[in-house]
Chain A
Amino acid sequence: MGYDPSADVIEVMRHPPRGPVAGTYRIFGETLRGLKTTFARVVEGPHTIQYPEEKTPVYPRFRGRHKLHRFEDTGLEKCVGCSLCAAACPADCIRVVAAENTPENRVSAGERYAAVYEINLSRCIFCGYCEVACPFDAITMGHDYELSDYTRSDLIFTKEMLLAEPIERTPLRVPGE
């Protein structure tokens, strides 16, 4: 049974039937146009970066592994364990358990400090929301992107690991580079 469109159906517009000349151009002409770019690169020579001996420099605002900070003068942790970063995190990979500072054991500048601060870097999507959320600039995104490890649990970074001065493994792109 054929389909009989009624008068109010707008007719479908088609391109004119393709002739042999047009068909041949599409097969060879367009393909060669694309290959022009490829061959032009061949002339330039290889661009391989010999990772890990050589590394791509990152931009200053690159979002790599996090760092927690201390006050330079007092050495106290900037983080007060407010959990705002955990609230902001879309991957739900930050865990903060706060505790209270005592005169004998003063860890941070405020009333509370983070007794546990963990980031599960195998879940982190490096969006940087935590950095934006932090009211004390206690957490910032570093430049390290070399984060592979042998077990998943090794990718849970603890407060001590995040506070430690990271090994500078990643070159920073200098202006103009």
Chain B
Amino acid sequence: MPRPEQKLIKLTIDGREIEAVEGTMLVDAAKQGDVEIPYFCYERRLGQPVGACRMCLVEIEGIPKLQTSCSTGVRDGMVVHTQTERVHEAQNAIVEFLLVNHPLDCPVCDKGGECPLQDISFGWGLGRTRVVEPKRHFQKPLALSPLIAIDRERCILCYRCVRFSQEIAEDWQLIFADRGSHTFVSTHDGHPYVAPFSGNIVELCPVGALTSQPYRFRARPWDIEGAGGVCTLCPAQCNVEFTVRDEKVVRVLIREHDGVDDGWLCDKGRFAYQAIHVDERITRPLVRDGGQLRPVSWERAFETAAEIARHQGRTAALVGGGASNEEAFLLQRLLREGLYSHDIDSRPGGALPLELARTLAAPALQASVPDLEFAHTVLVLGTEPLDEIPILDLRIRKGVRRNGVKLAIASPRPSALDPNAAVSLRYAPDGEAAFLSALEAALGHASSGSGDDVASLAELLRSGGEDVVIVYGESLAPAALESLVRIARLLGLEGRDGAGLLGVPASANGRGVREAGALPNAGPGYAELGAPRGRDAAAIAAAAAGGELSALYLLEVDPVRELPDRAAWEAALHHAGLVIAHASVLTDGLRDHATVIFPAESHAEKEGTVVHPDGRLQRLRAAIAHPGEVRAGWSVIAELARRCGHDLGVLTSSMAFRQLVAAVPFYAGITLEQIGGRGVRWPERPEAAALPAGGGSAQTPGAAAGTVQPAAAGQTNGHLRLGTYRSIWAAPEVEISPALHYTIAEQLVELSPADARRLEVGDGDEVLVGSGGTRLRGRAAVRTGVPEGTAFLATGIAQASANHLTEPLVEVRRA
């Protein structure tokens, strides 16, 4: 569905002439025209109004009764009054009604001071009560979930939380139980409301009925300051506002940005701020001394790390996590200019051919986040948005629900979006190239007519409408990405507004660090390198284990934890003479092998820029001072470079940004001021043309086209194919956040019911998964959507992560 056309109309509110887009609700139009109408239940982000609270009544000329302005669309020539006697009387009455059962325990209520009910009672209420009858009572406070406390006495039954659960997150857990004045909010089964987006209802609730457990009683609005920032715990890079009290982040709120997050946050972004202020965090430099990591002075840490200068040509670097563009840029300068090595990578799955990387980054092929909402068709390919870029899961649901977007899903593992999809198909865990060439072939034939899944997907893509957005995961193999580009061209997505590709990188700022040059085969801005190309991640591991590389620089990544093939990385780190890491949590690989650990900044402390998967440069601002002895990442790299005898000429983070802009042609002219709080999408700027064009390789149809064999099922010998998934919660920050402890799960081995029956494994049984000589212990989870013949294991978790396993086939049995 293309974006609806916006028609401006004129109406009069309280004698003021107001221009508004046709179809907006009267409350919103009034707000634009500086007329304030009080309301509780209406919330634009929740979609259709319900008119539950009646607070927003206004008088409209020509309509005898008062109307709810939240559910009345504006019309041309409408004349509205909000200040008449009748309206005032109605408002007074509604406030009185709302307070009939309201406890008014403002002094102990966490909402006090920022409570719409307080404000509206004060501004539009009568100021006294006539109620002498007892109020209704509930047990309070109760835990609605480990994250949310519910106080049912304070609830004004506005439906906001219930609508969020049912229409936004679509988890269908919250309901109104009972009727009349006994109505209360509850989960339908009485179990805790555990869902990945549950924290949003705390911010939605217009009273103190739903409050955050971690923030409970922490501060009052006048004790705190709000500091805008960007969450870099996942690639969605939602805009947030940190609530800061006494130099500590105590809460994370939304900072609504239609182009990024649409005003929602996932619970990881909302609650993992706790990792900033826990004892587990590394806040002092550590150096390995006699086999033990010990806290040392910065001077000592720099001295030890400066040894890297003796590993010229034998140093490799990995960039991951929330590293900013500046950090990645300075590190690749240190490596390339100071240490004569191109061995730097940021892509777990291995480097892409440069031409392909350029093609995929080309402005003509980029879709933006809002495009997901207005496309005709959205194809989710090889990624699970809920886990990898959670906020897009909500965005896609919104498009399907409100705008009739047709959703197609093609992935190895069942997706949370499957119930919303028009077409949903599975391919084998490593069968994406075969699947895509089959799709390409099916798109090529005018009409295949055959009823198989690939054909119906092709049919949907071809005839569902021109605006197609393809959201693809980074795990796709280069061959698959080549066919993806050809498919995009076949569908005419190139250069089309509102259509294109949206790549989901594995790490939060994956796109940014690559544009800053953290690639083995390209410099900043995907620039061609001279003759020597560097090694990619897997080759770095092999070379380090084989002794060809002697020093490793790990910028906010622990490869043992994050990258595939744990054994290879353990060997690599073990054999490297010098391992320098920037980290905030002591994960396994670092604990056992790091020589020097510099404490890394959290996303609330960093100054710098990051790039959203859709090309939006966003700015990180320091909300709090560095705790302990933490120093800025860019300054650590700059200082280390100076001590290695290669001064990078960087004294402030904005100098680093200016160097980056000078080095990346398609960023030319961008300033920090322009980026500001809302970001700048570089593919939309004319300078984007400076991105070197990708080659023609993508135009020749791959030789594989025609081999329609998505799932090679044969010769498994009773073994199962190994697929991996990374849960939204699989992050070190989550593990050390006390509020999120309940999310830490053991290895869940997802099996299809048929396989489970064959292996005589029941749901919840302990199982052993093995391949080669490795055995992992996990718990079986039997899911109906899992295709037969495949087992899915969690990766990125602390214990028994799937990256222990390297073979494509695994044996599963009862433990």
Which A residues touch B220, using CB under 8 A? 82-83, 86-87, 96
Q: Shortest CB–CB separation between residue A84 and chain B, in angstroms? A: 7
CB distance from B250 to the nearest CB of A (A): 11
Interface flag for A81 (CB, 8 Å): yes
Q: Please give, as numbers and ranges, the residues of chain B lying within 8 Å of A84 by CB-CB distance.
A: 107
Chain A interface extent, by class: 10 to 19
Among B141, B218, B219, B223, chain A packs the most CB atoms within 10 A around the CB of: B223
Looking at the assembled complex, report how far the CB atom of A99 sits from the nearest CB atom of chain B, in whole angstroms. 6
Chain B proximity mask over A78-103: 1 for CB below 8 Å, otherwise 0: 00111110110000000010111000
Smallest Cβ-Cβ distance to A87: which chain B residue: B222
**Whole-angstrom distance between the alpha carbons of A80 and B109 in the complex?**
10
B223 touches A86 (CB 8 A): yes
- In the bound complex, how far is the Cα of B403 from the Cα of A154, in angstroms? 65
> Which residues of the other chain, B, contact A160 by a CB distance below 8 angstroms?
none
Query: Using Cβ atoms and an 8 Å threshold, which residues of chain A touch B738?
Result: none
Interface residues of B in 123-152 (CB under 8 A from A): 141
B141–A83 touching, CB < 8 Å: no
CB of B217 within 8 Å of the partner chain: yes
B108 touches which of A82, A86, A87, A96 (Cβ 8 Å): A82
Select which of B112, B216, B222 is within 8 A of A100 by beta carbon.
B216
> Which residue of B has the minimal Cβ distance to A99?
B217
Q: Which residue of A lies closest to B217 (CB)?
A: A98
The answer to whether A87 touches B113 (Cβ under 8 A) is yes
What residues of B have a CB within 8 angstroms of the CB of A83 in the complex?
113, 219-220, 222-223
In the assembled complex, the CB of B458 is this many whole angstroms from the nearest CB of chain A, namely 58
User: By the criterion CB–CB under 8 Å, are A111 and B222 in contact?
Assistant: no
Measured in the bound complex, the distance between the Cα atoms of B113 and A84 in whole Å is 9
Which of B107, B112, B113, B216 has its CB near the most chain A CB atoms (within 10 A)? Answer: B107
Contact residue among B108, B219, B223 (Cβ-Cβ distance under 8 Å from A111):
B108
Tell me, yes or no, whether A136 is within 8 Å of chain B by CB. Answer: yes
Chain A contacts of B219 at CB under 8 A?
Answer: 83
Does A112 sit within 8 A of B, measured CB to CB? yes
Number of interface residues of B (CB under 8 A): 14
Give complex CA distance A99, B108 in Å.
10
Cβ–Cβ contact B107 & A136, under 8 A: yes
User: Is A166 in contact with chain B by the CB < 8 A criterion?
Assistant: no
What residues on A are CB-neighbors of B106 within 8 Å?
82, 135
Contact B113 A112 (CB under 8 A): no
A96 to B219, CA, bound (A): 8
With most chain A CB atoms within 10 A of its CB, the pick from B106, B216, B220 is B220
Residues of chain B contacted by A86 (CB below 8 angstroms): 220, 222-223
B105 within 8 A of A: yes
Asked if A82 meets B141 with Cβ closer than 8 Å, knowing A87-B220, A87-B222, A98-B217, the reply is: no
| B112 proximity list for chain A (CB < 8 A) | 82
Tell me the nearest residue of chain A to B220, going by C-beta.
A83
B107 touches A110 (CB 8 A): yes
Contact with A along B184-217 (1 / 0, CB 8 A): 0000000000000000000000000000000011
Q: How far is the CB of B674 from chain A (nearest CB, A)?
A: 37
Cβ of B107 and Cβ of A135 under 8 Å apart?
Answer: yes
* Contact status B108-A80, CB under 8 Å: yes
Give the distance in Å from the alpha carbon of A82 to the alpha carbon of B223 in the complex.
Answer: 11
Chain B hits for A110, CB < 8 A: 105, 107-108
Give A110 to B108 CA distance when docked, in angstroms: 7
Q: Which residues of A contact B217 (CB under 8 A)?
A: 81, 98-100, 111-112
Q: A5-38, CB under 8 A of B: which get 1 and which 0? A: 0000000000000000000000000000000000
How far is the CB of B644 from the nearest CB of chain A, in Å? 46
The answer to whether A111 touches B141 (Cβ under 8 A) is yes
Nearest CB of chain B from residue A41's CB, rounded to whole Å? 50
Which residues from A are CB-within-8-Å of B223?
A: 83, 86, 96
Task: Name the distance in Å between A49's Cβ and chain B's nearest Cβ.
Answer: 42
Q: State the Cβ distance, B614 to closest chain A Cβ, in Å.
A: 42
Q: What CA separation (Å) do A39 and B107 show in the bound complex?
A: 59
What mask results when residues 102 to 119 of chain B are scored 1 for a CB within 8 Å of chain A, else 0? 000111100011000000
In the complex, 21 of the A-B residue pairs with CB atoms within 8 angstroms, ordered by the A residue number, are A80-B108, A82-B220, A83-B113, A83-B222, A84-B107, A86-B220, A86-B222, A87-B113, A87-B222, A96-B220, A98-B217, A110-B105, A110-B108, A111-B105, A111-B108, A111-B141, A111-B217, A112-B108, A112-B217, A135-B106, A136-B107
Enumerate chain A interface residues (CB-CB to B < 8 A).
80-84, 86-87, 96, 98-100, 110-112, 135-136
Cβ-closest 4 pairs across A and B: A82-B107, A98-B217, A83-B220, A110-B108
